[in-house]
Amino acid sequence: MANEYVFLDLETTGLDENLGSVLELGIVVADINLQPIGSFQQILQFDDPRYEYENCGIDDFVIDMHTKNGLWDICAESYTVRATAELAALDFLADYSEPKIIELSGSTISFDRAWLKKHMPKLENWFHYRNIDVSSYKAMFKKYNLPERPVKAVGAHRAVSDCYDSIHDLRYYLQYLGVLPSE
């Protein structure tokens, strides 16, 4: 069980977990060879700031991003509250491992972990204290002028697709390093 990866991504209303809200939670579990074996998604209830009030404190970049990917519209129709999403995620993860075994994986996963700690502490506490941060590989490859992954696979700024992007990125880096066989 400790050989699986759990990739997690959150879509949020901004960068500050103390001021913002979680809009979407995505989780993809992958095996040791980075082959996906399960996925989970929850869209949380949130009123669309484009229509409800003029000065909502959400950055224009975030409003534009989630307008283009349709997340505002989906959140406005959702009835899922944060506590329900958190419990559903814990139920999903229970099929793959016991608590405190698997490291949390993703791109700049410290961002997501901070949001989990503030908004979904039971879920944050489920993971091992270590993280596998895919963006650290990217930074090291750039620092040493190693070839970066040429193209993002999905890139929709949606939680599950961002998890798949992180899986593809990590697979690329591990293949380059000879840890995983090339496809």
**In the Cβ-directed half-sphere of 35, how many Cα atoms lie within 13 Å?**
4
Residue with tokens 């090291």: 140
Residue with tokens 């814990």: 90
Residue with tokens 């750039």: 142
| Residue 129 annotated as catalytic | yes
Task: Return d(Cα 22, Cα 14) in angstroms, integer.
Answer: 9
Catalytic residue selected from 51, 129, 144, 172? 129
CA distance between the termini of the chain = 24
Enumerate the active-site residues.
129
